[in-house]
Amino acid sequence: MLPRIGITGSIAPSRIGTRRAFLNEPYLTGIRDAGGLPLVLTPAHQGESLRAFYEWLDGLLLTGGEDVEPARYGETVRHETVESVPERDALEFELLRWALADGLPVLAICRGIQVLNVALGGTLYQDLATEPDRPANVAHNQAALDPPVPRVQPSHAVTVLPGSFLAGLVGEGERAVNSMHHQGIRALAPSLHPVGFAPDGLIEAVEANDAAPSSFLVGVQWHPEELAVAGDPVSRRLFEAFVTAAAKHRTSHGAP
């Protein structure tokens, strides 16, 4: 049986007058190509159906997308750029609570790293481009550059700290990454350790303070799924390590 990876999607109104559930395909192909079975979770999964679905999982992938509702980190909306989907917040915070309690392997991407940080007690910059208390010499949304940089191409460097769990997966030092976000970590949650930084000092990768080779709790601000689809071997290694951790979790817990 392939390791079963739950991947979170979102919801939005459609042009035909109903709501649609959606997820960018590279998340699915990234897990599939790494040897996992991708399973999509959306805000339509609630209550008993959500818990039943969760019980199937060997790993949880939190994906990119809308902004975390500022109320979840004790703030009001201060920027017109903030767009939240409360139903998605409810889904992901619940799933993450269960996953952390059970030691389920978690990979958190873009919005996902922000969900992880807020769930554990951290806060966010609501809009990096307009915050007065941080450097602004790095373009964190490459789609807004002139000309725009395609999603599958890197646009700035991230420095991965030597000796970190993440460095053991992707290598230490500078790594070229893509960047498609307007928010980021402000105050880091106490139980997380910063292990990757953009040139302007923004935290771009985190892991558990007690990270060890037998565990997997990693968050990255960039989009390795897009780079993996484009053939980047480093990004593929990250997905492969995540799926391997999910397989080990499955075996150690005697899952059917």
**Annotated catalytic sites, by residue?**
110, 223, 225
Cβ of 62: how many Cβ atoms within 10 Å? 25
The residue among 111, 110, 85, 119 whose CA lies nearest residue 189 is 119
Report the alpha-carbon distance of residue 215 to residue 191 in Å, rounded: 14
- Cα 184 to its chain centre, rounded Å, is 12
Which residues lie closer than 8 Å to 114 by C-beta, 6 or more apart?
67, 68, 124, 183, 184, 185
What is the SS3 assignment for 118?
helix
Q: Is the peptide bond before 38 cis (omega within 30 degrees of 0)?
A: no
- If we measure between CA atoms, which residue out of 220, 36, 199, 215 comes closest to residue 113? 220
Q: Are strands 203-208 and 217-220 parallel, antiparallel or unpaired?
A: antiparallel
3-state secondary structure of 27: helix
